[in-house]
Structure 1
Amino acid sequence: LAGGSSLKEVADVLRHRSLNTTLIYAKLDSRKLVEVALPWPGRAA
């Protein structure tokens, strides 16, 4: 997913019947989230 593939593409490669199965293995990368998150309104960045 980090490389740009969609969840559906990953599910297809792994031969999962349900996207919910693939979601079990998908993890949030908090370092990447920090890179794209907007600062909270009223707080300095």
Structure 2
Amino acid sequence: MGTPVNIIVGSHVWAEDSEVAWIDGEVKEIHGRDVTIITTNGKTVS
């Protein structure tokens, strides 16, 4: 296990992307353990 991190709406994060391996984005919604991220190329990742 890594170091605990506090992720909140507005946090800048890295998300897995099948085309480019990892892509940066911003957290838009958090519902329990489900997070919605808008990536810099405009994709929505859950």
Q: With structure 1 as the length reference, what TM-score do the two structures score?
A: 0.25
Higher helix content, 1 or 2: 1
Q: With structure 2 as the length reference, what TM-score do the two structures score?
A: 0.25
Higher strand content, 1 or 2: 2
Q: Which has the higher contact order (CA 8 A, sep 6+)?
A: 2
Please identify the structure whose Cα radius of gyration is greater: 1
